[in-house]
C-alpha cells in the first residue's frame, strides 16, 4: 500500500513544474525534516509547542475546516482565511493534511492571551471564519469549547437531521446528561433549550 500510495504522490506532484520530492537520505541533516519524520513515525516530542513563541503570551486556537481534496478548494480556503486573518491583524499559519477523500486545513490563530483587546479580536475572527467557511460549504471538524455551539449550528442540512440523531443518542445513552454536557454542541435534554442548535 505504501509503495502504491507513494507512486500516486510522486506522479501527481511530479507533474507540477519545478516540484521536487526529497528522500529521507537527502534530508538527514535537516532538523525540520527530521522532526516531521519522527512525528509521522509516532515518536512524541515537544517541537510543535515552539509555535507558542510566535507571539508573546502564547495563546492559540485552531480553525480546521474540511474540504474535498482539490487544489481549487485548498486555494479558496487559504485565500479566505489568510485575507480575514490579515484584516484582523493576525498572521496566517496553516497547513493542509490530505487524506483519501478529504482535506483538513488547520489554521493556527496565534495571539497574546494576556492582551484583552487581542483576545477579543481573535475570538471575533474565529466566529467569522466559522460562518464564512460554512457558507462556502466547508464544515469545521474540531473546535475550541467556546465555539462548539456555533459550529454545531452550521451543520443544519435536512432540518438539522444530524443533531436530531445526536440528541436521540445522547438521551438514550446519557439520560441524566452527566457525560460531557455540551461537548461538540450535543447537550442533554434539560440544557438543550438554552444551548443547542434549536436556540
Task: Provide the CATH number for the domain around residue 58.
Answer: 3.40.462.10
Same domain, 66 and 134: yes
Same domain, 105 and 120: yes
Same domain, 56 and 138: yes
Q: Is 130 inside a domain boundary?
A: yes
- Residue 183 sits in a domain whose CATH number is 1.10.45.10
Q: Is 159 inside a domain boundary?
A: yes
Predicted pLDDT at 67: 92
User: What does the pLDDT profile of the chain (199 residues) look like in tens digits?
Assistant: 989 988 988 998 889 999 988 888 899 899 888 888 888 889 988 887 888 888 888 899 999 999 999 999 999 999 999 999 999 999 999 999 988 889 999 999 999 999 999 999 999 999 999 999 999 999 998 899 899 999 999 998 999 899 899 999 999 999 999 999 999 889 999 998 887 666 5
Q: Is 23 inside a domain boundary?
A: yes
Per the structure, how many domains does the chain have?
3
Q: Range of 104's domain?
A: 52-143
C-beta of residue 120 within 8 angstroms of C-beta of residue 88: no
Q: Is 33 inside a domain boundary?
A: yes
pTM metric for this prediction = 0.82
Same domain, 26 and 61: no
Same domain, 103 and 129: yes
Same domain, 125 and 97: yes
Amino acid at each position: 500500500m505504501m509503495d502504491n500510495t507513494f507512486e500516486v504522490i510522486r506522479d501527481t506532484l511530479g507533474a507540477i513544474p519545478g516540484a521536487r520530492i526529497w528522500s529521507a537520505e537527502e534530508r538527514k541533516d535537516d532538523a525540520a525534516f527530521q522532526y516531521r519524520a519522527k512525528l509521522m513515525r509516532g515518536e512524541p516530542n515537544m517541537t510543535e509547542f515552539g509555535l507558542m513563541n510566535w507571539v508573546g503570551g502564547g495563546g492559540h486556537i485552531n480553525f480546521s475546516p474540511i474540504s474535498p481534496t482539490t487544489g481549487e478548494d485548498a486555494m479558496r480556503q487559504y485565500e479566505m482565511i489568510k485575507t480575514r486573518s490579515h484584516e484582523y491583524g493576525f498572521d496566517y499559519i496553516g497547513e493542509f493534511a490530505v487524506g483519501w477523500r478529504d482535506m483538513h486545513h488547520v489554521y493556527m490563530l496565534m495571539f497574546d492571551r494576556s492582551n484583552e483587546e487581542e483576545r477579543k479580536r481573535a475570538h471575533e475572527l474565529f466566529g467569522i471564519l466559522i460562518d464564512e467557511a460554512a457558507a462556502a460549504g466547508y464544515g469545521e471538524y474540531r473546535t475550541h469549547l467556546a465555539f462548539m455551539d456555533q459550529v454545531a449550528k452550521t451543520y443544519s442540512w435536512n432540518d438539522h437531521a444530524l443533531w436530531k440523531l445526536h440528541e436521540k443518542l445522547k438521551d438514550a445513552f446519557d439520560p441524566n446528561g452527566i457525560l460531557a454536557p455540551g461537548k461538540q454542541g450535543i447537550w442533554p435534554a434539560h440544557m438543550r433549550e438554552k444551548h443547542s442548535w434549536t436556540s
